[in-house]
Structure 1
């Protein structure tokens, strides 16, 4: 629900000059946050990061790509615990910590709790992180993000979801509806990334078995997924699949431009033994600030993009979302309802004027003018009239999409 929503029959409150000033500042701030948020959120949805493979390739029976895909689909690991190492390198500019603050602020709940998962887990969008994960069936999962002299834990046990930030001693609690409980999965592992990748397999994709490898002491097959389409920034995706269980152990995404992996996520240690029941117990520490969040209903996905019909309404903040194209060159586009990124001399730019703008490339075409913000994987075009085009595609592909839309 949108904050500060009012009933249609409620008497409107008179708008003062102070209200208008605050509204103008919010609109200005939104324009600054858009380029960073679009790229950051897209990066976060891509996922986690890797573990180095053990030396030496195991000698395993030959298997076809289809057989390996079937093995992944049939995998039903319900219990595991282990350590996952995550590295994400999108090539974002060094903003001295500003970019992580903007990303966190863009997803932060209205109460501003540092333990809110939607805020804390955005940190996985850049850098290298170590996670401890555990799961015991669909109703018990735990993820711990290890930090310097601190730890963030996210615990799901039945209908309860707890987030705890030891640095601030803050706790965030919410509950799951019955529908949401049925949808719950193990948190942040290479399996999550693999499932999203396999959903996109179509004639625009090449899939093959690319040898074998050791990961976290386990024998695994390597599945190589490569886009056939030009115009995408994705080079290849390599997935290490456990030879015994079919569980993805490592996920590595490399860009078409070459260099280090953009996303590298994998187990450094894994066990398939049943975790202790106490692993999923949580009681707020004494003196901790506890914030109660809204119930997660499980029907939030109804507002997701309708990729089959290509359109989806997104409420009053966005006029709608379109998905242009198919396969690896799909581009999401929507209207922010505001002006584009303000230049340094824009009257609303203030002291921050043009700072974010300086990190983009100016482009123009039949659509008018705009700014492209680039990473090594996800790129976003924001036109001067507030339309956004974003995808794992090249700058030229974004400009072409804007010109034809």
Structure 2
């Protein structure tokens, strides 16, 4: 891993929080992700299951974590199973975790090699009355591909049909959404790396540059600062491309007079940053671009004021919609007739602003969290309003990551990235 070692106290606290919410006399099992094949002998670079990482800090394949706080054997209250390493693996794949290194990484004292898992699991199941299985219950999840976790659950149900089954997801969605200080530091590192990339691009962009050349500048800045790379597929969308919300081709030339919408973030220690800026190819915005930009910026600033403890996210999005409606009328994109005749299920403003404004962020870009519960201090949200006008070849979205705080405004983790029009233009032309 490129990132520096994380304090194992983070993972110890995370496991404690999870175990405190488990039912009596139950086991919880968590599996690493698979290494997924492409074709021939090619594979997709390994990405750890974020729940497994959150609870253990283990960032390698073929690993299993078992939690059994009521185990009669104190050694079996936290157990880590790892693929046994050897000299051959070290030569071909690099070093894997030894039992000693695993403790330094995770704080788990009991470590077995993976081939012992079935035997130890039988011992645990003989004592336990139930199990927590870990399924992907994210609202946006695509679960078509079978995972290592899926295969374990299928086999476990066959081998132990008499045990009660509980879900890990509701617990993880609660505890993962409120960040520990160590997590906030890691996220700030991801944001700081992202800031460096934005500033690098502001100096690099000029008419005639290609979107993929901008992407190359970004990934260079990321990797040289210990980032694992992009937290999500980057969007570098110039001109009309900015009106395609998930534009990822990044292969067009940037023309004089256009605006480039850049939505990207660094990943550091598996934690994500997520920001968006809209910058002028020529280094100066036109008057119309300034009007639209300032409208989006106004909505962003007013929206951030509502990101406080106690806010309900569905109500928050309704209020943001009202803010956006006002700005679109001012821009003469909507009029009172449009609003009077609008469909309540798809308000008129959604013609130009069709996505949500805020989502949880953390180990996943769209992180785990409970959208029907009030916002709490320690949560981190994006704030990303936008206006998209295809007929003007113009899309503006502005986005930062914010820590919710008690008794004061949310803290912007990206306050060093130029945001105001004058800041962007001055930085590009200095």
**Please, what TM-score do these two structures have when normalized by structure 2?**
0.28
Higher relative contact order, structure no. (Cα contacts within 8 Å, ≥ 6 residues apart):
1
Larger Rg: 2
Structure (1 or 2) with the greater helix fraction: 2
